[in-house]
Amino acid sequence: MSNAQIEQIIESRYKHGFVTDIDSDTVPPGLDENVIRFISAKKEEPEWLTEWRLEAYRHWLNMTPPDWAKLQVPGIDFQSISYYSAPKKESDKPQSLDEVDPKLLETYDKLGVPLHERARLAGVAVDAVFDSVSVATTFKDKLRDVGVIFCSFSEAAKTHPELVKKYLGTVVPTSDNFFAALNCAVFTDGSFVYIPKGVRCPMELSTYFRINAINTGQFERTLIIADKGSYVSYLEGCTAPMRDENQLHAAVVELIALEDAEIRYSTVQNWYPGDENGKGGIYNFVTKRGDCQGDRARISWTQVETGSAITWKYPSCILRGDDSSGEFYSVALTHNYQQADTGTKMIHLGKNTKSRIISKGISAGHGQNSYRGLVKVGKNADHARNFTQCDSLLIGKQCGAHTFPYIESKNPSAKVEHEATTSSIGEDQLFYCQSRGLDEETAVAMIVNGFCKEVFQKLPMEFAVEARALLEVSLEGAVG
Amino acid sequence: MLKIENLHVEVDGKEILKGLTLEVNPGEIHAVMGPNGAGKSTLGNVLAGRDGFEVTAGSIRFLGEDLLTLSPDERAIAGLFLAFQYPVAIPGVNNAYFLRTALNAQRTARGEPELDAMGFLKLAREQAGILDMDDKLLQRAVNDGFSGGEKKRNEILQMAILEPKLAVLDETDSGLDIDALRIVSQGVNRLRDPQRSMIVITHYQRLLDHIVPDVVHVLADGQIVASGDKSLAMKLEKEGYAWLKATKTASEALTLAS
Ligand SMILES: Nc1ncnc2c1ncn2[C@@H]1O[C@H](COP(=O)(O)OP(=O)(O)OP(=O)(O)O)[C@@H](O)[C@H]1O
Ligand SMILES: [Mg+2]
């Protein structure tokens, strides 16, 4: 990517801090079996799915929120959350962009995501999720030609029930953890992708999420299946308007890669982080997991986490197939009073499985940033290999960086390497940049971007540009 | 151009510069020599505005302005450049991108148009060529894994592109092989201009064979203790600094040198 391109997009960086007042059709706060049945009915779901949700709900009732992360989580009253909200006229969803509420399109424009333009110019199919319901899906024809299914989760439940039924909950079961169980019970929508055997998805698939209605938890559900020998790159991006309430977000993403298939999943996450005093911001408790079911399957997670007041997130890989591989590339930035406890789990089960973890944590202000990673090697995983590199960068004196690597190996032929560094942003580097005429903020952004380069290189181009811009915006006021 | 009067500077509470006075006129090249630890790099750092170098007395005027009120980036924009004795690496930051961003920051601040990527690359390649510097260094991370000599060349490349009004070269010759010394000096000489001044810090007279100074100063123990023409440098090369220490006052030394 050329510097000119980067700069052009940085210049047109997002403007944050506005709320769109599309009337929401919302259930009253609270959660019980009736609410779940209501959601399921709204979505016109088959009976088995309703039952599946209820099973998850019953698990959830007996579970407690995880307390092992290095996070200060204010008590969340799950009965004060409203579990369903949708734009009006849910029944007649627009079939093309022309039919989309212009006000919504305007919102996307403000966010710097001109949907139609972006789709046309970049050739990206966009499944935009707005307030839990998909309102625009493009490039369907092009995808249909090669047999790729890319639609909202609710649509898939109706049109491809056999696929949904076969794979839903196989990677993240209903009883997996507190937040995943909650998601299973109340998820409203999300994306579904199926790439048929031997197909290389002709474009990057992209979804923009946005939280909007006040006090509504957002529960996305994403299921991606790459059949034998197929390939897909999936982009998830998030932005949110300025607001005061803390909002819970508990998504679940399941990836399934069969023999020789490859899935690359990239996230640039920019939810509202709260203000400079730690007021407000999104609570992000996400369960993301990929299953390399087939031999030689590959799954790669790349994430750039700059938003949210609290991030609890461990995109993981189960390396079941022989010679399968998993990757995790992460940049997590915490500024002001943001907290992040993030990392990955690489579970080596097959022979000759490989995993690679590159984590870059940046803390500024009073931010607290923890890397938590588990590398587990099963007794049959002969010659499993892992390489982990975990670097932390501190900006200022009040922030914190923590590293919690866990290694469990039951196979003596496994080789697990771990490297970790922690450094402060160098006064000498800053001075060097400034002595060449760069102001302090530009200098910091430049040094931090350099620190993250290995991860940014893994992102699709337009995402890399966005990530750089985001980092710059997120670091405003970090020094001085 | 530059007028330093009775400059006192403390680092970590320790006085390093102790009443330094120096005036540089437009177009002049001043060489500053002196023993290790005398305060030469300190002078460069103070001029460039580094944090932690506290001016406790005295003044510095640059192009008629009070330099001490400006931040490091403002000084650069005003036309000051420091070629570092030990240039620092910035991993992951593309060298060409870094330099272009710096150039454009300076241009923008001066109300000049920015240079686009193509125009910049042309300029950078041309200047790198003059310094016999491998193009590939432009696409590597700033000073990251550069050899000592490559770092020094990169500093001069930056100077050539940023076109400062006053450049302070801190031991740019150390670490350069004989050919490189000649090439880099030629690069510096190309930048000689009636409107551009330079302060060249060095330990070796041989650099001054290539870059002929108008004035040579000896900085010892935080003060300029002797000033003279090129012959002062030759005397230092032959006799070291001991004879200066033997002389009682700076003025005596001055007389000796002339
Ligand atoms: N941060 C610091 N704390 C304490 N003393 C310092 C600090 N920085 C520099 N000094 C001291 O200031 C003195 C002058 O250092 P300076 O680097 O200016 O010397 P120099 O003349 O450039 O020497 P050289 O020829 O070796 O480069 C030295 O004694 C050095 O140890
Ligand atoms: Mg020095």
pLDDT at A16: 33
Give the residue among B145, B200, B191 at the shortest CA–CA distance from B172: B200
Give the residue among A386, A445, A442 at the shortest CA–CA distance from A413: A386
Q: Do B87 and A451 touch (CB under 8 A)?
A: no
CB-count exposure of residue B36 (10 Å: 0-12, 13-18, 19+): exposed
Per CB-CB distance under 8 Å, the chain A contacts of B77 are: 437
Give the span between the Cα atoms of B116 and A94, in whole angstroms: 43
pLDDT at A137: 47
User: Within a 10 A sphere around the Cβ of B75, how many other Cβ atoms?
Assistant: 24
Strands A385-395, A354-364: pairing is parallel
pLDDT digits (tens, 9 = 90+) for B220-235: 999 999 898 888 888 8
pLDDT at B234: 82
- From B103's Cα to the closest Cα of chain A, the distance in A is 8
Q: How far is CA A344 from CA A121, A191, A213, A293, A341, in A?
A: 34, 22, 31, 18, 10
In short, whether B71's Cβ falls inside 6 Å of ligand 1 is no
Per CB-CB distance under 8 Å, the chain A contacts of B100 are: 3
**Is A361:A369 a contact under the CB 8 Å cutoff?**
yes
Contacts of B248 (CB under 8 A, 6+ apart): none
- From B99's Cα to the closest Cα of chain A, the distance in A is 8
In short, whether B11's Cβ falls inside 6 Å of ligand 1 is yes
DSSP state of B177: -
pLDDT at A375: 97
- The CA A395 to ligand 1 mean position distance, Å, reads 26
Q: Look at A172-176, B176-180, B239-243 and tell me which has the smallest mean pLDDT.
A: B239-243
Tokens 């177009």, residue located? B27
Q: Do A429 and B102 touch (CB under 8 A)?
A: no
A436 touches chain B (CB under 8 A): yes
A427 touches chain B (CB under 8 A): yes
Give the span between the Cα atoms of B251 and B223, in whole angstroms: 12
Of B51, B92, B162, the CB nearest to A453: B92
pLDDT at B233: 81
Helix (H) or strand (E) holding A165: helix A161-167
**Is A206:A78 a contact under the CB 8 Å cutoff?**
no
**Is A36:B130 a contact under the CB 8 Å cutoff?**
no
Which site among A8, A424, A434 would you substitute to test the B interface, given the most B Cβ atoms closer than 10 Å to its Cβ? A434
In short, whether B16's Cβ falls inside 6 Å of ligand 1 is yes
Structure token pair of residue B55: 């001016």
Give the residue among A251, A182, A260, A259 at the shortest CA–CA distance from A223: A251
Strands A415-424, B141-142: pairing is unpaired
A397 touches chain B (CB under 8 A): no
Angle at A329 between CA A328 and CA A335, to 5 degrees: 125
Give the span between the Cα atoms of B76 and A421, in whole angstroms: 33
pLDDT digits (tens, 9 = 90+) for B8-18: 999 999 999 99
Per-residue DSSP letters for A414-453?
-EEEEEEEEEEPPHHHHHHHHTTT--HHHHHHHHHHHHTH
Tokens 């559900």, residue located? A221
Per CB-CB distance under 8 Å, the chain B contacts of A428 are: 88
Give the span between the Cα atoms of A366 and B121, in whole angstroms: 40
Q: What is the ipTM of this complex?
A: 0.94
A429 touches chain B (CB under 8 A): yes
Answer positive or negative: Cα dihedral of A75, A312, A189, A463: positive
pLDDT at A105: 55
Structure token pair of residue A290: 């990929």
Give the span between the Cα atoms of A211 and A131, in whole angstroms: 6
Q: Do B48 and A435 touch (CB under 8 A)?
A: yes
Give the span between the Cα atoms of A347 and A314, in whole angstroms: 12
User: Within a 10 A sphere around the Cβ of B85, how many other Cβ atoms?
Assistant: 18
Q: How far is CA B35 from CA A1, B215, B239, in A?
A: 48, 18, 13
B51 touches chain A (CB under 8 A): yes
The pLDDT profile of chain A, 480 residues, written as one tens digit per residue, is 444 544 443 333 333 333 333 344 677 888 999 889 988 988 889 999 999 999 999 999 999 999 888 988 888 888 888 888 764 443 444 455 555 555 545 545 544 554 444 333 233 334 444 433 343 345 667 788 899 998 888 889 999 999 999 999 999 999 999 999 999 999 988 889 999 999 999 888 876 433 333 333 578 899 999 999 999 999 887 554 444 455 788 999 999 999 999 999 998 877 777 778 878 788 899 999 999 999 999 999 999 988 888 999 999 999 999 999 999 999 999 988 889 999 999 999 999 999 999 999 999 888 999 999 999 999 999 999 999 999 999 988 888 899 999 999 999 999 999 999 888 888 899 999 999 999 998 999 899 999 999 999 998 877 787 777 777 777 777 765
A452 touches chain B (CB under 8 A): yes
Q: Do B84 and A438 touch (CB under 8 A)?
A: no
Structure token pair of residue A353: 């499985």
- The CA B80 to ligand 1 mean position distance, Å, reads 21
A2 touches chain B (CB under 8 A): yes
- The CA B172 to ligand 2 mean position distance, Å, reads 10
Q: Choose which residue among B42, B51, B204, B225 to substitute to test ligand 1 binding: the one with the highest number of ligand atoms within 8 A of its C-beta.
A: B42
Which of the two residues, A377 and B252, has the higher pLDDT score? A377
Give the span between the Cα atoms of A146 and A197, in whole angstroms: 10
For residue A453, give the chain B residue with the closest CA: B92
For residue A457, give the chain B residue with the closest CA: B92
DSSP state of B181: H
Q: Do A450 and B92 touch (CB under 8 A)?
A: yes
Per CB-CB distance under 8 Å, the chain B contacts of A431 are: 48, 50-51, 72
- The CA A293 to ligand 2 mean position distance, Å, reads 61
pLDDT at A128: 43
**Is B189:B156 a contact under the CB 8 Å cutoff?**
no
Quick one: which ligand is closest to B51's CA? 1
Instruction: Give bridge partners of residue A386 from the DSSP assignment.
Output: A355, A416
Collapse the DSSP code of A58 into the 3-class scheme (helix H, G, I; strand E, B; otherwise coil) and give the result.
helix
Which one of A114-118, A306-310, B204-208, B251-255 scores highest in mean pLDDT? B204-208
Average pLDDT (B66-92) is 96
Structure token pair of residue A2: 């050329």
User: A137-152 burial, b if ≥16 CB within 10 A, otherwise e?
Assistant: bbbbeebeeeebbbbb
Quick one: which ligand is closest to B222's CA? 1
pLDDT at A86: 60
Q: Do B90 and A435 touch (CB under 8 A)?
A: no
User: A62-73 burial, b if ≥16 CB within 10 A, otherwise e?
Assistant: eeeeeeebebeb
For residue A389, report the phi and psi dihedrals to the nearest 5 degrees. Answer: -130, 130
For residue B50, give the chain A residue with the closest CA: A431
CB-count exposure of residue A400 (10 Å: 0-12, 13-18, 19+): middle
**A393: amino acid identity, one letter:** L
Tokens 């499944």, residue located? A127
Q: Choose which residue among B8, B10, B14, B200 to substitute to test ligand 1 binding: the one with the highest number of ligand atoms within 8 A of its C-beta.
A: B14
For residue B95, report the phi and psi dihedrals to the nearest 5 degrees. Answer: -60, -45
Give the span between the Cα atoms of A85 and A130, in whole angstroms: 10
CB-count exposure of residue A293 (10 Å: 0-12, 13-18, 19+): buried
Per-residue DSSP letters for B38-102?
SSHHHHHHHHHT-TTEEEEEEEEEETTEEGGGS-HHHHHHHTEEEE-SSPPPEEEEEHHHHHHHH
Give the span between the Cα atoms of A464 and A452, in whole angstroms: 11
- From A434's Cα to the closest Cα of chain B, the distance in A is 5
In short, whether B39's Cβ falls inside 6 Å of ligand 1 is yes
Q: Which atom of ligand 1 lies nearest, measured to the CA of B12? A: 3
- The CA B171 to ligand 1 mean position distance, Å, reads 14
A4 touches chain B (CB under 8 A): yes
Q: Which atom of ligand 1 lies nearest, measured to the CA of B35? A: 25
**Is A19:A136 a contact under the CB 8 Å cutoff?**
no
**Is A305:A342 a contact under the CB 8 Å cutoff?**
yes
Instruction: Give bridge partners of residue B83 from the DSSP assignment.
Output: B169
Structure token pair of residue B28: 């002049």
The residue whose CA has the least distance to atom 31 of ligand 1 is: B37
**Is A54:A185 a contact under the CB 8 Å cutoff?**
yes
In short, whether B40's Cβ falls inside 6 Å of ligand 1 is yes
Give the span between the Cα atoms of A210 and A132, in whole angstroms: 8
Structure token pair of residue A412: 């003596």
Per CB-CB distance under 8 Å, the chain A contacts of B105 are: 437-439, 442
DSSP state of A413: T
pLDDT at A125: 38
User: Within a 10 A sphere around the Cβ of A125, how many other Cβ atoms?
Assistant: 23
- From B173's Cα to the closest Cα of chain A, the distance in A is 19
Of A2, A436, A439, the CB nearest to B158: A436
